[in-house]
Amino acid sequence: MHTQIPTSLDNVYFDANSFDSTGQAVTLDSENLVCNNIDFTGVTNSPNFNGNSKTLLLYGSINLVSEMTVSTPNINFEATTTGQTLTTAGHALGGLFFNGIGGEWTLQDPLTASSIDLNYGTLNTNSHTVNVNSFNSNHFNVRALTLGSSFFNIVANGNWNVRATTNFTLDAGTSTINLTDGLFL
């Protein structure tokens, strides 16, 4: 058991030795907890990653697995380097905020989230399907969205908000952006 709270330089790993009974949880119990990478590869006993309406500041990659449950954490992606990845294993996430100047994040599987705010850096969907309530990138910061052949679905009453197109690059590739009964701002 670790007694020190992780910093932006610390990787957090959960594996077969991390949970000894079913239903145990990792709960974000205060706002803006921080780590570099967080990885649940190899966990047993179906743990829960409970966002608890808090925000995780992540300076690296996230790797969730299907053998767990996830209670919609909000994540601020703060990396300022390329090569970061997101693996959700089919779990829905809360609000995702991409804030790292020069950061780059690549999806490893389909993504479902309540919202995506691309404030800085590059988000590469890697041709995976994305389902969100809203996509926001309304800044003059340097940022890019690379879709490949993704289906980017904004659900009913959602919005696509990219009014400040200066410094915004959209590489749509052969993707399809679906907006159902929402706002295209």
Question: What are the tokens at 152?
Answer: 């980017």
Q: Which domain holds residue 47?
A: 12-184
Is the pLDDT at 184 greater than 80? The verdict is no
pLDDT given for residue 157 in this prediction: 80
Indicate whether 110 belongs to any domain.
Answer: yes
Does residue 183 have a pLDDT over 70? no
Q: Which of 57, 80, 82, 66 is nearest to 146 (CA)?
A: 82
Q: Considering the domain boundaries, does residue 143 fall inside one? A: yes
Q: Strands of 38-39's sheet, edge to edge?
A: 12-13, 38-39, 62-63, 84-87, 104-107, 121-124, 143-146, 168-171
DSSP lists the bridge partners of residue 122 as: 104, 144
Could you please report the per-residue DSSP string of 23-52?
Answer: T-EEE--STTEEES-EE-TT--S--EEE-T
| Contact indicator for 148, 125 with CB cutoff of 8 Å | yes
Q: Is residue 44 exposed (0-12), middle (13-18) or buried (19+ Cβ within 10 Å)? A: middle
Alpha-carbon Rg of the chain, whole angstroms?
16
Structure tokens at 155: 């659900």
Q: Is 4 among the domain residues?
A: no
Query: Of 62, 77, 14, 61, whose CA–CA distance to 42 is shortest?
Result: 14
Round the average pLDDT of the chain to a whole number and report it: 93
Please report the pLDDT score of residue 2 as a whole number. Answer: 64
- Tens-digit pLDDT profile for residues 64-92: 999 999 997 899 999 999 999 999 999 99
Q: Is residue 50 part of a domain?
A: yes
Q: What distance in Å separates the CA atoms of residue 164 and residue 92, rounded to the nearest whole number?
A: 28
Mean pLDDT for the stretch of residues 141-154:
96
Q: What is the pLDDT of residue 165?
A: 77
* Residue 134 in domain: yes
- pLDDT in the model for residue 119: 96
Q: Do the domain assignments include residue 45?
A: yes
In single-letter form, the type of residue at position 147 comes to L
- Total of domains in the chain: 1
Specify the pLDDT at position 185. 55
Percent of the chain at pLDDT > 90 equals 82
Report the pLDDT value the prediction gives residue 181, as an integer from 0 to 100. Answer: 73
Q: What's the pTM? A: 0.94
pLDDT band at 3 (very low <50, low <70, confident <90, very high): confident
CA–CA distances in Å: residue 68 to residues 41, 121, 178: 10, 29, 30
Q: Is residue 2 part of a domain?
A: no
Residue 97 lies in a domain: yes
Cα–Cα distance, 166 to 138 (Å, whole number): 9
